[in-house]
Amino acid sequence: MTALPELPELDAARAGATAIRRQRLILLAAVIVVAWLALQLFATILLPFVAAAGVAYFLDPPASRLVRAGMPRGLAAFLLVLLLLAAILLFLLLLYPLILAQIGLLITRLPAYAGMARESAMQVMANLQARLGADFVDARLRELVGSQAGNMLSFLASAASRLVGGGFAIFNALSLLVVTPVVSFYLLRDWPRVVAKLDDWLPRRYEALIRAQAREVNRILSAWVRGQALCCLVLALYYAVTLTVAGLDLGLIVGLASGILSFIPYVGSIVGLLTALGLALAQFPTWFGVAKIAVVFVLGQTLEGYVIYPRFLGDRVELPAVWVIFALFAGGAAFGFLGVLLAVPVTATIGVLARFWLKRYLVSPLYRDPPPHPEH
């Protein structure tokens, strides 16, 4: 029969376990602080590298399938990055001139749109004055509202044109055109080795647990990223084609913007609907033209809710819409476009960890044990 360890040995073991636990917490806090400081210091130069990591993550499944088919990993990475660049250049060559032409059309028609907005606002204020009386709505207020309506429309249109132009200028910048494809190739080529090296660095005691949580994050993140990208592409093509066929002068740019913004839940459809209806009211002389635009978005929402999202996303994505909206806006406010790119991965990771700790809490004595009864 083995002898029980002496009390000093037990105390030393407990002290050692406590010290190791403290070291782990300090290491975790240090990693979080260093990562936050790195984002703060290098946010302006990290964009092409984060974009390259996203491209490598997106292209890793087809690269792995090509490798299983017998192709070397380096050649598969080179071909996939080359095909992606070709698709982007084809988009620029085909659609960018059309988008610039529609922006020019918007700028030329902006004074007319501003005048119509001013007249509509004046008419609304006149109706309010007729119903509520001159004490509530006087002539000065009517003039102020009418002038501000025209100025607001001019500001929004000019801001939108600057945003589109600036976005394409950034897209054509040297860092995204040169650095991102090169880094994407190397990351995609070395992706299995990078994952294996990170796996070797895991603490042995929690190796299985960390792998399980990492697989869950990868499942949710890959389903969201790849599914959402396909959804945005399909919606952008649908809205661009149908709005153009319906006769809306700026249908191409409004449709593309609606589809691209669909990665933010409800924002793309709402912004696209309001913009398209406003342009339709200014362009079409009858309500039939406006009704056609409304039907396009009603059919688009039906297609999105019952065909596109169930097909490409389904129930695999455990990212609530409110979480995604908050994460995207919070990331954009904190780090700009870099924060937008990092928002969904961080949100997916936090969601997986929160569900894991919630499960542990629900089976822990902290939750299950009743409070002790006081002795009488």
Tens digits of residue pLDDT in 223-242: 888 788 888 889 999 999 99
pTM of the model: 0.68
Q: Compute the distance between CA of residue 350 and CA of residue 356 in angstroms, rounded to an integer.
A: 10
Report helix, strand or coil for 370: coil
Rg of the Cα atoms in the chain: 28
Other CB atoms within a 10 A radius of the CB of residue 229 amount to: 13
pLDDT score, position 49: 86
At 279, list the tokens.
């342009």
Contact in structure between 186 and 193 (CB atoms under 8 Å): no
Q: Compute the distance between CA of residue 115 and CA of residue 121 in angstroms, rounded to an integer.
A: 10
Type of residue numbered 170: I
DSSP letter at 71 equals -
Note the helical H segments in the chain: 7-42, 47-68, 73-132, 139-171, 174, 180-189, 191-200, 207-245, 251-260, 267-283, 287-303, 309-312, 321-335, 337-362, 365-368
Half-sphere exposure (Cβ direction) of 39: Cα atoms closer than 13 Å: 18
- Only one residue has tokens 């936090």, namely 350
Other CB atoms within a 10 A radius of the CB of residue 349 amount to: 16
pLDDT digit string (tens) for 213-224?
A: 888 888 888 888
Find all residues with CB under 8 Å of 157, minimum gap 6, and list them: 106, 107, 110, 113
Contact in structure between 185 and 120 (CB atoms under 8 Å): no
Contact in structure between 313 and 263 (CB atoms under 8 Å): no
Q: Compute the distance between CA of residue 205 and CA of residue 118 in angstroms, rounded to an integer.
A: 69
Where the chain has pLDDT below 50, the residues are 1, 140-141, 144, 161-172, 376
What is the per-residue DSSP string for 104-160?
HHHHHHHHHHHHHHHHHHHHHHHHHHHHH-TTTS-HHHHHHHHHHHHHHHHHHHHHH
- The CA-CA-CA angle for residues 367, 371, 374, to 5°, reads 170
Contact in structure between 47 and 176 (CB atoms under 8 Å): yes
Q: Compute the distance between CA of residue 81 and CA of residue 73 in angstroms, rounded to an integer.
A: 12
Q: Compute the distance between CA of residue 91 and CA of residue 111 in angstroms, rounded to an integer.
A: 31
